[in-house]
Amino acid sequence: MALLDIRNLTVKIKTSEGILTIVDKVSLTINPGKILALAGASGSGKSLVMQAIMMLRRDNVIYSADRFKLDDKDLLKLSSHQRRKIIGENISFIMQEPKRSLDPSLKIKTQIYEVMPKIKWYRFFTRIKNLIKNTKRQTAIALLHRSGIKDHSRILNSYPSQLSDVECQKVMIAMAVASEPKILLLDEPIVNLEIASRFQVLKLLDKYSKNDETSIIIISNDIASIYNFADEFAFMYAGQIVERGTREQIFKNPRHPYTASLIRSMMEMNNPDNAKKFIPVLTGKHPDYKHMPIGCRFGARCRYAKRRCNNMPEITMGKNSQYRCHFPLPDGALYSDD
Q: Which is nearer to ligand SF4, 160 or 299 (CB)?
A: 299
Taking the complex as a whole, how short is the minimal distance between the CB of residue 242 and ligand SF4, in angstroms?
A: 7
Number of other CB atoms surrounding residue 263 within 10 Å: 20
Binders in 263-292 for other proteins, by CB under 8 A:
263, 265-272, 274-279, 281-282, 285-286
Helix (H) / strand (E) containing 89: helix 80-90
The verdict on 298 binding ligand SF4 (CB under 6 A) reads yes
For the sheet with 240-246, list strands across it: 91-94, 183-187, 215-219, 35-40, 232-237, 240-246, 321-323, 316-317
166 touches other proteins by CB under 8 A: yes
Render 209-272 in DSSP notation, one character per residue. Answer: HHHS--EEEEE-S-TTTTTTT-SEEEEEETTEEEEEEEHHHHHHS--SHHHHHHHHHHHHHH-G
Pairing of strands 240-246, 321-323: antiparallel
Q: Which of 32, 191, 327, 333 binds ligand SF4 (CB under 6 A)?
A: 327
User: Should residue 325 be labelled a site residue for ligand SF4 when binding is judged by CB under 6 A?
Assistant: yes
Size of site (CB under 6 A) for ligand SF4: 13
Examine residue 332 and tell whether it contacts other proteins (CB under 8 A).
Answer: no
What is the contact mask toward other proteins in residues 192 to 231, using x (rule: CB under 8 A)?
A: xxxxxxxx--x---x--------------xxxxxxxxx--
Residues 96 and 80: their CA atoms lie apart, in Å, by 26
Supply the DSSP string of 193-210, one letter for each residue. Answer: --HHHHHHHHHHHHHHHH
Residue 299 binds ligand SF4, judged by CB under 6 A: yes
Instruction: Compute the least distance from the CB of residue 61 to other proteins, in Å.
Output: 18
Residue from 232, 257, 259, 262 binding ligand SF4 (CB under 6 A): 257
- Among other proteins, ligand SF4, none, the one that 89 touches (CB under a kind-dependent 5 to 8 A) is none
* Residue 239 within binding range of ligand SF4, rule CB under 6 A: no
Binding at 275: pick from other proteins, ligand SF4, none (beta carbon under 5-8 Å per type): other proteins
User: Which lies closer to other proteins via its Cβ, residue 125 or residue 199?
Assistant: 199
Number of chain positions touching other proteins (CB under 8 A): 51
Q: How far is the CB of 88 from ligand SF4 (least distance, A)?
A: 39
* Burial classification of residue 41, based on how many CB atoms lie within 10 Å of its CB (0-12 exposed, 13-18 middle, 19 or more buried): middle
User: What whole-number distance in Å separates Cα of residue 147 and Cα of residue 145?
Assistant: 5
Using DSSP's 3-state secondary structure scheme, residue 167 falls into helix
Whether 92 and 183 have beta carbons less than 8 Å apart is answered as: yes
Considering only residues 110-129, where is the footprint of ligand SF4 by CB under 6 A? none
Angle between helices 165-177 and 195-211 (to 10 degrees): 10
**Which of 40/98 has CB closer to other proteins?**
40
Interacting residues with ligand SF4 (CB under 6 A): 256-257, 296, 298-299, 302, 304-305, 309, 313, 325-327
